[in-house]
Structure 1
Amino acid sequence: KKRYKAQPIVLAIPRGGVVVGYQVAKELGCPLDIIVPRKIGAPHDPEYAIGAVAQDGSMVLDQKVVKSLGISSSYLEEAKKREIEEIERRMKMYRKNLSEPQIVGKTAIIVDDGIATGSTIKAAILSVKKKNPALLVVAVPVGAPDSIAAIKTLIYDIVVLATSYSFAAGGQFSQNLVQTSDQEVIGLLQKASGPQ
């Protein structure tokens, strides 16, 4: 906490990132909120990430993949629109009556449960930067070294507990973990917003 001078706020990426973010916010004694970037999948294989988008339209694309697959700009715009609609739906569901926090001049700490390709966290970074935080930090328990190195260039600081070249969507690090539910996310956000 003493490391960053501006008041911290944790912005967790649902769903798994909220579990990690709740603990970070609790340890720092600071507010917890969410940021919901969404993966953009390839046209015929939606699980194959070609990029990601945030609620404000901040988008990151793997241009090499987009070009090699011959993905049209019309597909990208439609996918972006579809994912933003889903982001807005999730934001309403998760936040309930909680208002969006002010980030200007604060230390924004984006938290996720891991970084594989880095697309979603990069979209989150671009979105949060537009809100003028004093500092922007990323915190994750595990990440792929190449993705971590690329993200370091975009932010003030990054905190990673472990790196692994074989890291793929956190799989081998969370095999024994139960998938976080939407209800758990809502519960943690409400718990964090209650009296401290």
Structure 2
Amino acid sequence: MVFGRTGGSATVHVRLPFADRAEAGRVLGELLVPHELADPLILALPRGGVPVAAEVAGRLGGPDRPAVMDVLVTRKIGYPPQPELGVGAIAEGGEPVFDRTLLDRLGLVEADLADTVARERAELDRRVRAYRGGRPLPDPAGRAVVVVDDGLATGVTARAALRAVRARHPARLLLAAPVGAPDSVRMLAAEADEVVVCAQPAAFRAVGQWYRRFDQLTDRDVTRLLEGRRA
């Protein structure tokens, strides 16, 4: 499957599936270049967004120094009987965001998920400590910020991330991903100043279907990719 996307005066051809997240990040970086982002802050959604963002930061930085990159930690809020079904998400520094249509369909209210939210907050805090130690999240106020993930399925995690960043007053807020479900991309356009997605295939079931290699990453993988890229 081949998509053609225009970036400035050049056309970037996207062939799916991507080989891996690194290749996807290189293609995404090319699409972001024409946006002319001065000293951007790249915030990756771990774990899968980190190798994508590492390539983006390399492309958007100068010849000797990549753009500043860090993680914005998020956690999915799962439906308790079926945890892989995400009914919401939470990002560090933000409040939980829920898919209210899905909650209604499942007969749930937010209070029913209080225990789940508490567990995910605890895991979120653990990952913040693992990835950044005692360092705070870089201040996005007044900066161009690019939130990067490896794909947009339901979009609820990206929405939580964007709202957490927006509350800290960036000058410009972009969401970037190699691939996204068309409905989710349209929904997220209301949350960011710009959404940059390489491909929006109609037959979208899961992010992993658009990668030949879609390995599960560890905390160690994340910290290794962040080395030398922080402010």
TM-score, scaled to structure 2: 0.78
- Following superposition, the deviation at residue 50 of structure 1 comes to 0.8
1:10-49 paired onto structure 2 within 5 Å: 10-29=42-61, 30-49=67-86
Show the counterpart of 1:174: 211
Aligned counterparts of 1:82 and 1:60: Cα–Cα separation in 2: 15
Q: 1:185 to 1:152 in 2, by over 3 A?
A: same
**Letter of the 2:47 counterpart:** R
- Following superposition, the deviation at residue 5 of structure 1 comes to 5.4
Q: 1:25 to 1:59 in 2, by over 3 A?
A: same
- Following superposition, the deviation at residue 76 of structure 1 comes to 2.1
Show the counterpart of 1:77: 114
SS of alignment partner, residue 191 of structure 1: coil
Show the counterpart of 2:64: none
Of all paired residues, the percent bearing the same amino acid is 39
Show the counterpart of 1:60: 97
The answer to whether the 8 Å contact 2:94/2:163 transfers is: no
**Letter of the 1:86 counterpart:** E
The answer to whether the 8 Å contact 1:142/1:162 transfers is: yes
Aligned counterparts of 1:65 and 1:73: Cα–Cα separation in 2: 11
Show the counterpart of 1:163: 200
Query: Which deviates more from structure 2 when the two are superposed, residues 4-13 or residues 151-160?
Result: 4-13
TM-score, scaled to structure 1: 0.91
- Following superposition, the deviation at residue 4 of structure 1 comes to 4.3
Any idea what the Cα deviations from partners look like across 1:73-97, whole Å, max 9, x if unmatched?
3322222222111111001101135
Q: 1:168 to 1:95 in 2, by over 3 A?
A: farther
Q: 1:109 to 1:151 in 2, by over 3 A?
A: same
Query: Which deviates more from structure 2 when the two are superposed, residues 149-158 or residues 51-60?
Result: 51-60
Aligned counterparts of 2:84 and 2:213: Cα–Cα separation in 1: 22
The answer to whether the 8 Å contact 1:137/1:155 transfers is: yes
Show the counterpart of 1:118: 155
Show the counterpart of 2:29: none
Q: 2:186 pairs with 141, 144, 149, which one? A: 149
Aligned counterparts of 1:167 and 1:146: Cα–Cα separation in 2: 10
Show the counterpart of 1:109: 146
Any idea what the Cα deviations from partners look like across 1:98-126, whole Å, max 9, x if unmatched?
44211100011000000000000000001
> Structure 2: which 5+ runs fail to align?
1-32, 62-66
Aligned counterparts of 1:165 and 1:60: Cα–Cα separation in 2: 25
SS of alignment partner, residue 192 of structure 1: coil
Aligned counterparts of 1:104 and 1:45: Cα–Cα separation in 2: 38
**Letter of the 2:50 counterpart:** V
The answer to whether the 8 Å contact 2:41/2:140 transfers is: yes
The answer to whether the 8 Å contact 2:179/2:197 transfers is: yes
Q: 1:28 to 1:5 in 2, by over 3 A?
A: closer
Note if 1:137 corresponds to 2:184.
no
Aligned counterparts of 1:132 and 1:28: Cα–Cα separation in 2: 22
Q: 1:117 to 1:97 in 2, by over 3 A?
A: same
> Structure 1: which 5+ runs fail to align?
none
